[in-house]
Structure formats: structure tokens, C-alpha cells
Amino acid sequence: MMTPKEIFAALGHDVIGQNRALQEMSVAIYKHLIEHSVGNVLMMGNSGTGKTSIMRAVERFFSQAEGFEKFSTIIRINANLVADLASRGKQSNVVMDRLALQAANILGEQATPEAMRDYIAHSIICVDEVDKIRAVVGGEPNVKGIVAQDSLLTLMENENVHVEMPYFEAGRWHSMTTAINTEHILFVAGGAFEELYDQVYERVTEKSGLNKFWKLMPRADGSLERRFVFHLGEHLSQEDLFKYGMTPQFLSRFDSTVMLGDLSAPDLVRIFQEIPNAIWPVAVNYFKHSGIELTITEEAAMLIADRAAEKNRLGARALRDVFGKIIKRLEFDPLSTDLVREQEGQRVLEITKEVVETG
């Protein structure tokens, strides 16, 4: 059995700058694997801080780790879909039906009724954009949000839920309705909670003013600059979440509420270049098809990260915005620019600090 520390190391290959969230997730997965009381996790953070990346890291962990096959049934579902289906009375069905289908895909012809029940009962449900199912919007009750929270709460209350379950027997697929207890299903929910940021900001700054939020922050090169920084997690209370529209009953089903921090410029440099499907190697591969070697100076990469860090409400997505303004004008006809030069028989396009500044 892997320890939480070992799980953390495995997840950390894909996620940068969110150690606390990964620690909480590692403990939740460990509890899941030993069939301890499930530690459901609610992740909160600005767009682009890594919520989806963490969910994908969990998926990759179970797809690669050996010996945890019955825990490998994982689905991701958007909370807006749950809300839409909830308004039509079909919310529980679609979540459990997706779990059953995923388990059947994993097991294939080994999908006996017993194996199917085991895989579904030890699955993981990831809910994206959970902040969109608020019970209150603009001070008025939001019926869709209320019903959606209640429907997810039903699945999280360790009760028997009836599932239309496929299984393979005698050379063909069959279907049966069976009861699955949700006690050992792990729920991971994530959302940006963007209006919550403004809500808490107004509450806190009304009392304390703005001066305390000017701080020295690291630039990509390690130097410091003075920047206005407001960390939601340092000021958030349960009452803020209730006012936002998350019901006490729903929140009580999460053992951990994790606030993902804003990404620093040094983190963004690594995200730009190192993570799976990072922006930079994808761009390098694009230009390779035109016979051009795309390179970047260290100064240029740091400047891109610094500019992205200034847009802290966008997180890592700001990298795509900043770099896009530079690279898009070069993608259409790179050979027409004087930035491409011949070097040892190879066409080279180098992104320098000057290119970024004029981009």
C-alpha cells in the first residue's frame, strides 16, 4: 500500500505550485484505498490555478498504479449538467449510469455482476464548476442549484442507490438493476467561486482598508516587486460560503475545503515549459513541421511568466493569453519574418526578451 507521501510524489509530476491541495488530495486518496471513512475534497481557486489539472493527475495516477484496479473507475461531470438534469428529476441516474458505463469499459468481458458492483462502489466522482450550482443568485433562490446540491448530497450520504448496471455473461452483455452503497465513493469537487472573491474582498477591505494587501512578491528571476495581493483563503469563513449559496448540508459532506493559491511567476515558468502538454513544447512541435527550430531565452520565458502573474485572476491561463500575442503573428508565415535565421544549416526562430516586449 502506498503512503500519502508516495501518492503526493506521484501526483506532483503533473501539478505545480499547489502543494497543500495535493497533500489534502493524497490523504483523501489514501483513505479511499484503505476503505477508511471517505475524505471528500472541495477545491476552490481562481480560474487556471490547477483544479482540473489535479483531477487529471488523479485519473493518471489510477491508470498507471498497479494493484488498485477496483478503485480505477473515475468520471468527471460538470455541475451545470447535474443542475440541468436535476430540474428534470434525472440527476442521480446520469452520475451512476456514467460510473457503470466506465466500470464496464474498464472490465470488458471480465465485467461480472460482482466485479461491476465492486468497481462502482469504490469509484471516484469529480464534479467540475461546482460553484455554478448556487442555491442563491442575486439574493433570490436558485431552484436548479438547490435541487442539484440536494441530488449530489443524496449520493454522498452513504445510502443505497439503484443503478442500471451492464454486465458480461455467456458471451454477451446483459443489464440489471441493482443497489450500490455509496459509502466508499470518493467525491472531488472544484470551482472558481469568482463572485465569492469579490464578496469577501468587500467585506474585509471595508473594515481593514487596502494598505495591508501590498506585498513583496517574487518575479520569475527571483527578484521582488511590490504588488497588491489579496488571498481569499486567508479571509474566507463558512458564513461566506453560505451567503454565496452553498448549503450547510452540502458543505458538511466535504472533509477538506482546499483553497488553491495564486500561482507565482516562478511556478508559471515551469508550467509554461514543463507540465504535460505545456504551451511551449506544443509551440516547438508546431514550428518543427515547417522545418523551424523554435527556441526561447531564459529572460524571455521569465518576462512571459511575470506578465502572466500580473493577471492573477486568470492563473496559468494567462500564459496562453500573453504568449499568444507573441506567437500568433508568427504562426501564419514565419519565414516572412526577419526573426528566423540560418544556424548550422537549420532555420532557427528565437523568442528573446525584445520579442516579448514588442509582442
pTM comes to: 0.83
Cα separation, 226 vs 259, in Å, equals: 23
d(CA 217, CA 225): 5
CA-wise closest residue to 303 among 284, 290, 322, 330:
322
User: Residues 241, 336: one domain?
Assistant: no
| Cα–Cα distance for residue pair 311/322, rounded to 1 Å | 10
Mean pLDDT in order along the chain per 10 residues (359 residues): 93 89 94 88 89 91 89 92 74 81 96 96 95 89 88 88 93 95 94 88 80 76 78 85 93 91 89 89 94 95 92 84 92 88 90 89
Q: Are residues 333 and 235 part of one domain?
A: no
Q: Give the pLDDT score at 217.
A: 76
* Structural element, H or E, at residue 141: strand 140-141
Strand ranges (E), 195-338: 214-218, 224-228, 256-259, 292-296
Identify the three-state secondary structure at position 119: helix
Write b or e for each residue in 43-52: b if 16 or more Cβ atoms lie within 10 A of its Cβ, otherwise e.
bbbbebbbbb
Same domain, 271 and 244: no
| Structural domain ending residue among the three candidates 259, 277, 308 | 259
Verify that 239 and 319 share a domain, yes or no: no
Enclosing domain of residue 280:
265-358
Give yes or no: residues 54 and 37 share one domain: yes
214/247 same-domain check: yes
d(CA 90, CA 169): 28
Q: Are residues 243 and 297 in the same domain?
A: no
- Number of other residues whose CB lies within 10 A of the CB of residue 264: 18
Here the CATH number for the domain that contains residue 209 is 3.40.50.300
Q: Which of 229, 259, 289 is the last residue of a domain?
A: 259
Asked if residue 270 and residue 243 are part of one domain, the reply reads no
As for how many domains the chain has, the answer is 2
246 and 279 part of one domain: no
The H or E element containing residue 101 is helix 91-107
* Residue 178 φ/ψ region, left for φ over 0, alpha for ψ in the -120 to 50 degree band, beta for the rest: beta
Contact 23, 289 (CB under 8 A): no
Q: Are 206 and 283 members of one domain?
A: no
170 and 306 inside one domain: no
Cβ–Cβ under 8 Å, residues 189 and 42: yes
Find out whether 40 and 21 touch, Cβ atoms under 8 Å: no
CATH number of residue 352's parent domain: 1.10.8.60
pLDDT for 270? 93
Do both 269 and 244 map to the same domain? no
Closest CA to 189 of 160, 149, 162: 149
Among 244, 259, 274, the domain-final residue is 259
Measure the CA–CA gap between 76 and 232, rounded to whole angstroms.
Answer: 26
